[in-house]
Chain A
Amino acid sequence: MIIPKQMPVEKILKTIEGVENLLIVGCDGCSGIYQVGGEKQAEMLAKLIKMHRQLNNVPGEVRHTLVLRQCDRQLVATTLRPQIEGIEAMISLACGVGPQTLIDVFPEMKVFTAVDTYGMGGKDRELGHFFEYCSGCGDCLLNETGGICPMTRCPKALVNGPCGGMLEGKCEVGDYKNDCAWYLIYERLKQLGRLDLYKKYREPRDWRVAQSPRKLEI
């Protein structure tokens, strides 16, 4: 899923200065599941903004709502169209796709985001960690690298790793706290009896595959 992180409230308040009537739009997709931008968080943010406005005598209305998935134009249109009466601006609590979809559907509306988006990954509930596992490069290497993505998990995105910055399986980036992706690949391929895939030389990537913006016909 997409890894979202809510921006600091001060930053959000600064962004919406001068806007009176707001609709905070949560997303029940990744952002909601990760409890960063779901219904509860939208409600919380609305409360915070209202409190701030009361304290500072700022006029205007603050409402909140939820879209099942903000990345779906049709869902955004049908959910939000009945709710935008008198609204000047929307604050999206989805990943970076959300606010852009809101603009596509409501081009006359001011749209802000309250989220920094970190990429695609998973979550460990016990550790309370998100981890990035996929950068959507469009040319998947996982079948060759023992199911571990060097494009995402190696800070240099090397296809012929590891580099000299690996020490005891850890990576020079982040002060040797994170695993070296190529060390994990080596261990995994060794376990699978496929060190030939580790030793293999890989040509430089064809970056046209990852050329933004990408479109896929469905």
Chain B
Amino acid sequence: MAKREAYSKLMEEINAGKFVYTGELEPEKIGDMEEVIEGAKKLVGHVVAANVTDIPQSFAYMNSLGPSYMIQEKAGLEAVCQMTCRDRNRLAMFADLLAAGALGIVNILALTGDHPSLGDQPEAKPVFDLDSASLTALIRKITDEGVDLNGHEIHNPPKFHVGVAINPGAVPLDPEILKLERKEAVGAEFAQTQVVFEIEKAKEFMNAIKHVKVPTLVGIFPLKSFKIADWMEKFVPGVKIPEPMMTRLRELNGIEDKGMRKEKIAEYNVEYYGEFLRELRKTTNAAGCHIMAVKWEELIPLIIKASGS
């Protein structure tokens, strides 16, 4: 497949074969965007773009479209606007895509979205009129043909790049890989993985999807405290944090001085993920790394530096 023209820095760098970094910003249950914009400012110069989450885990938070626009405008950081299919039918998704295009948002991450029953409004009606694959197809239609799902012409159509998510921790993995092939067939241009903690796991996974020609960014999640690690291990299904990591975090958790504890945990993450990244770049064909250090943006440049890049 011939490479498509790049309309964003993210895609330009991926196409150029550069190992790219993306960050993640999470607008929460809040009526202003200060924190997200401040977070974005810290990421500028270290990542090429940052994902802006769309009601993650179905918690009633701010949408992704507004902050995606604002981080581009106010912080000068390119957005990867996440769009889930949970809350909007195809009319509303299309309408938001047109608005996103008009606001200068180019990168869209097409997600199916968590079920409402997982969040803090479990009574909500699930929509899922589209899914991650058909949203990808819709974005392709808009970008490649300048039309909506039914082929009606768009006046001055926007250009998008569409990414998808994939879970290296899926058990079994085979149906997940076939699903990625399906998304490749409908025109996904990049993929970001769910969190991976072990480099061996990342290697195995990248090897398993070698035949898929979708540039893939491996997702990592720096662990800010033992408590978070323990919570993830216990309550996030499919997440398995390697034992040495848990042991080390448990040890560091014992440091009495809060400031010192934070510093040591940060140092440990920098060291751990620095090595992870070095190995990832050296041994896999990963297109980059998606660093989910939400509200811990200052760690990202340190990790990247420690990886020797």
- In the bound assembly, the distance between CA atoms of A198 and B112 in angstroms comes to 17
B258 to chain A, nearest CB (A): 35
Report Cα–Cα, A205/B85, bound state, in Å.
14
Determine which residue in B128, B185, B194 has the highest number of CB atoms from chain A within 10 A of its CB, and name it: B128
Contact in complex: B186, A157 (CB < 8 Å): no
CA distance A205 to B134 in the complex (A): 10
Asked if B182 contacts A201 (CB within 8 A), the reply is yes
Q: Closest A-chain residue to B237, C-beta based?
A: A167
A-B contact pairs, 21 of them (CB 8 A): A156-B86, A156-B128, A158-B112, A159-B131, A159-B134, A160-B134, A161-B131, A162-B179, A163-B113, A166-B170, A172-B115, A172-B118, A173-B115, A173-B117, A186-B174, A186-B175, A201-B137, A201-B186, A202-B133, A203-B134, A207-B129
- Other A-B pairs beyond A161-B131, A167-B237, A201-B186, 14, CB < 8 Å: A158-B128, A160-B131, A160-B179, A165-B118, A172-B118, A176-B237, A186-B175, A198-B178, A199-B181, A201-B133, A201-B185, A204-B134, A205-B129, A207-B129
- Do residues B133 and A162 form an inter-chain contact, with CB atoms below 8 A? no
| Cβ-Cβ contact count across A and B, 8 Å cutoff | 84
Contact with A along B177-220 (1 / 0, CB 8 A): 01101100110000000100000000000000000000000000
Interface string of B78-113 (1 = CB under 8 A from A): 000000001000100000000000000000000011
Chain B interface residues (CB < 8 Å from chain A): 86, 90, 112-115, 117-118, 126, 128-134, 137, 149, 165, 167, 170-172, 174-175, 178-179, 181-182, 185-186, 194, 237-238
**Quick check: B129 and A156 within 8 Å, CB to CB?**
no
B131 touches A164 (CB 8 A): no
Contact between A158 and B131, CB atoms less than 8 A apart: yes
- Interface residues of chain A, those whose CB is within 8 Å of chain B, are 155-169, 172-174, 176, 182-183, 186, 195, 198-205, 207
Complex alpha-carbon distance, A164 and B129, angstroms? 17
Q: How far is the CB of B129 from chain A (nearest CB, A)?
A: 6
Residues of B within 8 A of A186 (CB): 174-175, 178
Candidates B128, B175, B181; contact of A182 at CB < 8 Å: B175
Quote the shortest CB–CB distance from B127 to chain A (angstroms): 9
Are B126 and A155 neighbours in the complex by a CB distance under 8 Å? yes
Please determine whether B167 and A164 come into contact, CB atoms closer than 8 angstroms.
Answer: yes
Question: Which residues does chain B contribute within 8 Å of A200, judged by CB atoms?
Answer: 182
Would you give the shortest CB distance from B166 to chain A, in whole angstroms? 8
CA distance A164 to B114 in the complex (A): 8
> Complex Cα distance A174/B165, Å?
23
- B291 CB to nearest A CB, Å: 19
Is A165 a contact of B115 with CB atoms below 8 Å?
yes
> Could you say which of A164, A176, A183, A203 contacts B112, with CB atoms under 8 Å apart?
A164
Interchain CB contact under 8 A, B165 and A164: yes
Residues of chain A within 8 A (CB-CB) of B238 are 167
Across-interface contacts of B178 in A (CB, < 8 A): 186, 195, 198-199
Measured between beta carbons, the chain B residues less than 8 angstroms from A160 are 131-134, 179, 182
